[in-house]
């Protein structure tokens, strides 16, 4: 994120009775009454691109699967709301940080699936809409023009298979990247 930088250059005001003017400073001289001296100065500012991404939650607990979810092959979870503020055109992308979920055993004799692919997590920007498999390559989630606040909810589906998804605790890091090209 870039910050605003403020540079100001003001001319110095020197009156004849105030002593010696600074070397290189602008000056004006007044004689007589009324004594009034003005010296124009200027200010300048460079505003860079500024973007901000706010998440309604830093992590999302996916809905635990039921027998009906295993039968259907998936279940759905409403993810976080993502709010973008930007002073220029912007793009928000997402990707998985790794190709596989982490897996921790929770049941003796039934090890957690260590090869559950990131693609078993699907995402969409509309509830019940078209879902996309998560990959390790950036995918465009949403784009926009300069805005004070544009919000998008991330909807998720997790894929399940009776013979594949053994008991365990699973995790996957999703990377969101906001850019203003």
pLDDT per residue, tens digit, the chain (181 aa), is: 433 222 232 233 333 334 444 455 667 777 777 777 787 889 999 999 999 999 999 999 999 999 999 999 999 999 999 999 999 999 999 999 999 999 999 999 999 999 999 999 999 999 988 999 999 999 999 999 999 999 999 999 999 999 999 999 999 999 999 999 8
The answer to whether the beta carbons of residues 20 and 33 sit under 8 Å apart is no
Same domain, 21 and 63: no
H helices present in the chain, as ranges:
67-72
User: According to the model, what pLDDT value does residue 12 have?
Assistant: 31
The answer to whether the beta carbons of residues 178 and 84 sit under 8 Å apart is yes
Same domain, 19 and 44: yes
Same domain, 73 and 9: no
CATH of the domain at 70: 2.60.40
Same domain, 89 and 16: no
Same domain, 122 and 40: no
Same domain, 58 and 126: yes
User: According to the model, what pLDDT value does residue 23 have?
Assistant: 52
- Which residues have a Cβ under 8 Å from the Cβ of 154 and sit 6 or more positions away? 79, 80, 81, 82, 94, 123, 124, 125, 141
Buried-state track 90-119, b at ≥16 Cβ within 10 A, e below 16: bbbbbbbeeebbebeeeeeeeebbeebbbe
Same domain, 64 and 76: yes
User: According to the model, what pLDDT value does residue 26 have?
Assistant: 63
User: According to the model, what pLDDT value does residue 31 have?
Assistant: 75
Strands (E), 21-73: 42-46, 51-55
Same domain, 43 and 56: no
How many domains is the chain built from?
2
User: According to the model, what pLDDT value does residue 5 have?
Assistant: 29
Here the tokens at position 137 are 């390559």
Instruction: Supply the range of the domain harboring residue 64.
Output: 51-179
User: According to the model, what pLDDT value does residue 180 have?
Assistant: 94
Which of residues 12, 29, 48 is at a domain's end?
Answer: 48
Same domain, 126 and 144: yes
Same domain, 112 and 56: yes
Same domain, 139 and 82: yes
Same domain, 14 and 56: no
């Amino acid at each position: 994120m870039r910050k605003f930088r403020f540079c100001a250059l003001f001319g110095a005001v020197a009156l004849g009775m105030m002593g010696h003017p600074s070397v290189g400073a602008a000056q004006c001289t007044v004689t007589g009454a009324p004594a009034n001296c003005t010296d124009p100065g200027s200010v300048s500012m460079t505003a860079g691109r500024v973007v901000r991404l706010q998440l309604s939650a830093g992590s999302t607990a996916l809905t635990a699967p039921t027998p009906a979810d295993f039968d259907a092959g998936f279940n759905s979870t409403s993810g976080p709301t993502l709010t973008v503020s930007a002073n220029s055109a912007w793009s928000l992308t997402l990707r998985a940080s790794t190709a596989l979920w982490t897996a921790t055993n929770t049941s003796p004799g039934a090890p957690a699936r260590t090869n559950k692919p990131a693609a078993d997590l699907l995402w969409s920007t509309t509830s019940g809409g078209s879902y996309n498999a998560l990959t390790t390559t950036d995918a465009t989630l949403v784009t926009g023009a300069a805005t004070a606040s544009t919000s998008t909810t991330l909807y998720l589906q997790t894929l399940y298979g009776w013979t594949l998804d053994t008991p365990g605790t699973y995790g996957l890091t999703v990377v969101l990247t906001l850019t203003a090209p």
